[in-house]
Structure 1
Amino acid sequence: MNDPFAINLQQHHDALGEFMTVLDKEQALFTEAPVAVDALSRLTERKAAQAKTLEQLDGQRRAMLAERGYDTGREGASELAASLGCDAIWQALLERIEAARTQNQINGLAIGTRLDHTNRTLSFLQRETGQTLYGPNGRTRAYGPNHSLRNGV
């Protein structure tokens, strides 16, 4: 179909597929111990860029709906897609949006769990040593060769 709206729906569907690939890679990184921080950082940058692309495609779709006199939400998009005969790609897009939302929430929970575990570990170590392990600059403090985490000396 050559209609710009139908093209936008297909582009959005494809971009969501790429976004979901990043989400899957992100989830895989969380299962590693320790987490590959550099790889996660690069993936986060890629995820942010793809999220921006998705926002742009959504904005374009909404603008096309408004230009044609349709409601800019799901109802208007459903009506226009049906009138153009591209309601199948619209429904596929909606399904993919929901799948990406769910996967992103799962990944968010994994991040929260990792962060909670890290915070509890640091808290334990601080209680055991009676002091913080990191200086104000975020670097580990230098302790002498006789320093033991057990007795804090």
Structure 2
Amino acid sequence: MKQDLLTAIANEHATVAVFAAVLDEEQRALVAGSLEPLPALTERKAQLVAELAEHGRCRDRQLNEMGFGAGRAGGEAAAAGDAEIGQAWAELLTLAAAAKRNNDLNGSLIRTRLNYTQRALAALNLGTGEPLYGPDGRQQAMLGGGSVTA
């Protein structure tokens, strides 16, 4: 049973490591202003989140079979009673905390970029009171005249 729990924690750790690498790639793209890779990265993150959920359920099953509760409390209890489990658990929590910080930072970068884009669009729309650009990014027909770029 102990080995099954260690395997479950190792699998979860490996997936968190891949998730963290994807977050790093996403962060590099956001900082560089390269938005093209973001949809594929978002899809990959969603897949990894599903894998992480399954790994968490597997870990919780192992914890329950060993007589510990599920979740963080069960992991802490198992870690307290065994040095090998304790080390694996601590490494998982450390990596997960780092991934969470990167995910939070990426969210902040996305919000900043979105805010900037919204302010830029608002500035473009100030003069006419009508939107210059539609949701598709194309210039809208202007009332009372044509486009100055046509």
1:10 aligns with 2:14: no
Aligned residues: 147
Counterpart amino acid of residue 87 in structure 1? G
1:147 aligns with 2:138: no
Counterpart amino acid of residue 3 in structure 1? Q
Percentage identity across paired residues of the two chains: 31
Alignment of 1:119-134 (within 5 A): 119-134=118-133
Residues 77-123 of structure 1: CA distance to partner in whole angstroms, max 9, x if unpaired? 13324437321111000101110111100000000000000000011
Residues 41-61 of structure 1: CA distance to partner in whole angstroms, max 9, x if unpaired? 111111111111111101111
Residues in 2 aligned to 1:131 and 1:108: alpha-carbon distance in whole angstroms: 31
What residue number does 1:28 align with?
A: 28
List runs of 5+ in structure 2 lacking aligned partners: none
What residue number does 1:58 align with?
A: 56
Q: TM-score, normalised by structure 1?
A: 0.83
Shift of 1:146: 5.6
Counterpart amino acid of residue 69 in structure 1? G
List runs of 5+ in structure 1 lacking aligned partners: none
Cα root mean square deviation, aligned: 2.6
115-124 or 57-66: bigger deviation = 57-66
What residue number does 2:66 align with?
A: 68
SS at match of 2:82: helix
Counterpart amino acid of residue 141 in structure 1? Q
Q: TM-score, normalised by structure 2?
A: 0.85
Residues in 2 aligned to 1:16 and 1:69: alpha-carbon distance in whole angstroms: 25
Residues in 2 aligned to 1:90 and 1:48: alpha-carbon distance in whole angstroms: 24
Residues in 2 aligned to 1:17 and 1:52: alpha-carbon distance in whole angstroms: 15
Counterpart amino acid of residue 32 in structure 2? E
Alpha-carbon distance change, 2 to 74 in structure 1, aligned in 2, over 3 angstroms: closer
